[in-house]
Amino acid sequence: MSVRFIETCRLPTPFAEFEMHGFEETETGQEHVVLSLGDISNGEPVLARTHSECLTGDALFSMRCDCGYQLEEALKSIADEGRGILLYLRQEGRGIGLLNKIRAYHLQDRGADTVEANERLGFAADLRDYSMCKGMLEHLGVSKLKLMTNNPRKVKALGDFGVEVVTRVPLQVGKNPHNEGYLSTKADKLGHWLKTHQDDEPQE
């Protein structure tokens, strides 16, 4: 998916004053943003997060998932390092969209897990495509990442587009009684590197 750069502006936050860069997918018009901090184009690996949109977790404080906690932790880590990027990808509901995610949550309220709910609605477990990251990273002059994620598919997808993931930085925060089942399904069915029990080491 190719992207067109639109504009950059300042984005002050409680963590740091970021720059926000807006992009548009040329084929679909889908909009994405990147927050950046510091000199990211000097060739040194950049601390990075590719964050998939989750309106419920990122903006509405939902405890059903770990997204909001991960977003905050990633921005804090970038601020602590004084340098980094967060790609905020508009792939709500692993690509099925907000209203279908509500349909999936409805099924989960009645006992389905996160993967079964998608399948019952006729979707694959994960529809996300990360190809738009390539153009955004190229525009920003970034080719090497220290990627904050627990998702092996993200690491592989970026590698397939020629982006070098130098290190994978675990991002395991926000576990609570409401998302325990969700997190263990991610580990068991989607292959996420997650510590599912208190004393476990994450599977890698």
Ligand X SMILES: Nc1nc2c(ncn2[C@@H]2O[C@H](COP(=O)(O)OP(=O)(O)OP(=O)(O)O)[C@@H](O)[C@H]2O)c(=O)[nH]1
Annotated binding site for Zn(2+): 54, 65, 67
46 within 8 A of 158, measured Cβ to Cβ: no
92 touching ligand X, by CB under 6 A? yes
Is 110 part of the annotated catalytic residue set?
no
Annotated binding site for GTP: 49-53, 70, 92-94, 114, 149, 154
Which is catalytic among the residues 83, 103, 128, 153? Answer: 128
CB of 171 to ligand X, least distance (A): 6
Q: By CB under 5 A, which span of 57-65, 112-120, 173-181, 190-198 interacts with Zn ion?
A: 57-65
Q: Which residue in 37, 46, 47, 67 binds ligand X (CB under 6 A)?
A: 67
Annotated binding site: 49-54, 65, 67, 70, 92-94, 114, 149, 154
Number of residues that bind ligand X (CB under 6 A): 23
Give the 3-state secondary structure of 159-197. Answer: HHCCCEEEEEECCCCCCCCCCHHHHHHHHHHCCCCCCCC
Distance between CA atoms of residues 42 and 141, nearest Å: 8
Which residue has 């099924």 as its token pair? 107
77 binding partner (options Zn ion, ligand X, none; Cβ < 5 to 8 Å by kind): none
- The pair phi, psi for residue 152, each rounded to 5°, is -60, -30
Q: Which residue in 57, 84, 135, 174 binds Zn ion (CB under 5 A)?
A: 57
Going edge to edge, which strands form the sheet with 144-148? 3-12, 17-25, 31-37, 84-89, 46-52, 144-148, 164-169
Interface with ligand X in residues 130-189 (CB under 6 A): 149-151, 154, 171, 186
Is 128 part of the annotated catalytic residue set?
yes
65 touching Zn ion, by CB under 5 A? yes
Binding site for Zn ion (CB under 5 A): 54, 57, 65, 67
Active site residues per annotation: 126, 128
